[in-house]
Amino acid sequence: MSADYLIKKRSNTLKVLLGLGFLSLAAAFITQYDPVTGLISGLDAMRWVAANFYPNEQSLTRLPSIMNRLRETVLMSIAATTVAAFSATFFALLGAQTTKVNDALRLMSRSTAAFLRNIPAVAWAMILLFTFGQSSLTGFLALFFSTFGFLSRVFMETFDETTASSIEALTATGASYMQIIFQAVLPASLPQMISWMLYMVETNIRDATLLGILTGTGIGFSFALFYKSMNYHAASLVVIVIVVTILVIEYISNHIRRVIL
Amino acid sequence: MSLLTVKGVSKHYNERIVALSDVSFAIEPGEFVVIIGSSGAGKSTLLRCINRIVEVTSGVVTFDGLDVGSLDKRELRKMRTKVGMIFQHYNLVNRLCVLENVLHGRLGYKSTWAGALGIYSEEEKAQALRVLRLVGLEEQVYQRCDQLSGGQKQRVGIARALLQDPKLLLCDEPISSLDPNASKVIMDYLKKINTELGITCLVNLHQVHIALAYAERIIGVKRGRVVYDGLTEHLTAETIHDIYGSEAGDLLLGSGGNHVG
Ligand SMILES: Nc1ncnc2c1ncn2[C@@H]1O[C@H](COP(=O)(O)OP(=O)(O)O)[C@@H](O)[C@H]1O
Ligand SMILES: [Mg+2]
């Protein structure tokens, strides 16, 4: 019986692998992608990067304006994440099994979060461009919606995982709903919540860079501008600044995580 | 007048799971009663029906002259402040310190916002420190609960319940996660609380030898029904066999978890 099960499981794995292999062959055929040409053009690209894509002395004079744009992007990511985290906390309390107020609100909150989460930030930006045009508001709202959906979901899971037993204990003492939320649920979940927020700040700085190309704001706009005017040295400086920023942010958030967890 | 009466209480979790059927008994002020039964017998459900963490399907629970089933939200919270509860897994907010956890015992008496924000009077803090001295934790007042041993955590649980100034203490397998030494310490504290503070205790135990050592009166539960209710010294080996089924031999002869295999 259990041997049968294992054989069945293994043959299933094999089927999935064969299926995936077939899919990638079919995709390569349909798009007429030739892996050899792909590899060669990759090498060509590397050669071009080495020849043109590095900052020179003149491009350094652009640094102050690039840093200004960078600040815009970073601040927008942090603002969108923070506002989204506050709203998500509220929704997640309504949506988690252990902290729900009633089933109707729970369903409402879960489906809203699921809907928002499944639309990526870039798609949000495209939709919002129609309403708000190329502005930081478009970028901010795009980040806000996708972050809000994601954080609602993970906060719900955090509440359900970490707090059922202490909620029961506080209920038994005669504590009210608000008291239980503030005295048990939030204190127990806060480190995890902050950790998820930091993760979203990192993700959002990456996304905001791409969104900036679309919305004409922030560091993404700087890159698009230099790139289109064929100022590759300045464009490469932008890329370096972005990479360094992401590394620094990741270092800081890892440090914060170590302290709070 | 009895402090607690349970009359014809049944609990069906769904069509198939009948956790309690037609359970009746009464507890007098000052009694120390142990409920024994194998796991799944319905002991935990029974205790939770008393403070309405679980709603009964039918039957009446009367506590201190109040019909528990008919209380509205506010009255229920007020009633719960008079019933302390102690759990197998302690159910503390592990990231908070000992004092904060103990003060949770006052939440039912406080206004919603004072409680939610954790604003306690000097009198309440002094009372918390008194109770912590009583259970021998005066050294650990500001320690975080996740740094405590199992036995210490359970004493925090007891202190939290005592801070409610309860008339009845419901203990759901208070020693099932503890080693024999810590178990004895906890049972001795419960006994002391019963005799010196005059607080009525209703204790669920899986281990029959400990029930025999501490209880004045034993209630035996089997598959959701009360099959024995009487003085400890009148409990016969046959009845214990009936309550525990095939497990009984080990529990009686080897005095349960104490013998090392
Ligand atoms: N929340 C629940 N939902 C469904 N069934 C439950 C629930 N809690 C307990 N039960 C069932 O009710 C019965 C009694 O459980 P319980 O009161 O926990 O027994 P004990 O504490 O004596 O081990 C068991 O069959 C258990 O599976
Ligand atoms: Mg139980």
Per-residue pLDDT reduced to its tens digit, A202-220: 999 989 988 998 888 889 9
ipTM, 2 decimals? 0.92
Report pLDDT for A45: 86
Report pLDDT for B246: 67
Provide mean pLDDT across the span A71-97: 95
Per-residue pLDDT reduced to its tens digit, A1-24: 566 777 888 888 889 899 989 988
Mean pLDDT of chain A: 90
Report pLDDT for A1: 54
- How is residue B105 written in tokens? 């015992």
- How is residue B39 written in tokens? 């796991």
- How is residue A36 written in tokens? 């050899």
β-pairing verdict for B32-36 and B217-222 = parallel
Phi/psi of residue B41, nearest 5 degrees: -70, -25
Provide mean pLDDT across the span B27-45: 96
User: How far is CA A11 from each of CA A4, A5, A19, B59, B178, rounded to the nearest angstrom?
Assistant: 11, 10, 12, 55, 46
Pick among B73, B79, B95, B109 to test the A interface (most A CBs inside 10 A)? B95
**Best residue among B45, B85, B176 to mutate for probing ligand 1, ranked by most atoms within 8 Å of CB:** B45
Pick among B93, B97, B111 to test the A interface (most A CBs inside 10 A)? B93
Q: Does A179 touch chain B (CB under 8 A)?
A: yes
Q: Is B118 left (phi over 0), alpha (psi -120 to 50) or beta?
A: left
Phi/psi of residue B86, nearest 5 degrees: -125, 140
**Best residue among B15, B17, B89 to mutate for probing ligand 1, ranked by most atoms within 8 Å of CB:** B17
CA dihedral B164, B169, B172, B178 (to 10 degrees): 80
Q: Is the pLDDT of residue A56 over 90?
A: no
Phi/psi of residue B220, nearest 5 degrees: -100, 130
Helix (H, G, I), strand (E, B) or coil at B92: coil
pLDDT band at residue B251 using 50, 70 and 90 as cut-offs: low
- What CA–CA distance (Å, rounded) separates A147 from A129? 18
Handedness of CA A74, A75, A79, A82 (dihedral sign): positive
Per-residue pLDDT reduced to its tens digit, B215-235: 999 999 999 999 999 999 999
Among B58, B57, B4, B11, CA closest to B170: B4
Q: Is the pLDDT of residue B178 over 90?
A: yes
Sort B239 into a burial class: Cβ within 10 Å, 0-12 / 13-18 / 19+: middle
Report pLDDT for A93: 96
Beta bridge partners of B85: B170
